[in-house]
Structure 1
């Protein structure tokens, strides 16, 4: 299993203080992929940009897809731009992959907090147990990603420390992207509220 797969399983398995938005999770999955690629020396970070290493086949198909889509010409791509590009619809991609692997089953009624109209349910599997063990051990990277999307309560303990400037740079870029996405949601909500108020004044 990989960090993004473990993160998705935990997002489905754990209760959180607020629903996990699909956009937030997609960005976090892209960040998790980036951290795994850093750990495998498939990429390096130079002045906030992702420098690809030698392209090689990855054991995980989704990580292989990520590597194949890296920008391989200078000045390369910033971490933030990569998270936005790679993260687009990534939660759906991972859900589809886990369903195809038999790790999820569909059901109409949902209890977990990832926002969807039709729900998925985790099946009991070694992958689920590995992710749960990693989460229970408070593994730093997984804990930091969970905290970023709200499935780990920061008040429950100190913020997890992560090793390496590269990992910290990815997490910083993720938090910036999440803040930007949250601000955009607030702007859209205000526009809807303003439009609703205008309709009331006009008698609609």
Structure 2
């Protein structure tokens, strides 16, 4: 049996050295319980955390004090986390940003990365996963997932990508995928398969 080498777990004492001199972190999420829990966990790891519960609040904080690090939920009550990414990138181009979402799909991940996010993590992501993504060095290889996507998930991701490319137009997406519009609507109404 081949043993898989795993990186040593990040300890809270060592975290401060890995973060760098600017420890500012903006967390934007509309799930208050998750937001507060993550903020406490990241403070324990050495970050100077600011929180925002909406796109408007996130943009306002990004404009007044652009952070060195950011963790942004993609879907917020008042809009898209991509708007916060753009606002941060407009003020500071060295910000290390991670996008979190419970509604992951490849199209939005690609958009987030194009706008400057380093990584895209599906909720629930724990603080250690987020920290590892934030401190990852450019060009560093990420370990492949132990549980790769199922065929159903890959299909769902493809449908979501085409749907986003068609600007969320169900009829056009159905035409391009050569499927009935109602079938597509049923697929889109379901959560992503595991």
* TM-score of Structure 1 vs Structure 2, range by shorter chain: under 0.3
TM-score, normalised to structure 1, is 0.26
TM-score, normalised to structure 2, is 0.27
**Larger helix percent:** 1
Which of the pair has the greater relative contact order for Cα pairs under 8 Å at 6+ separation? 1
**Larger strand percent:** 2
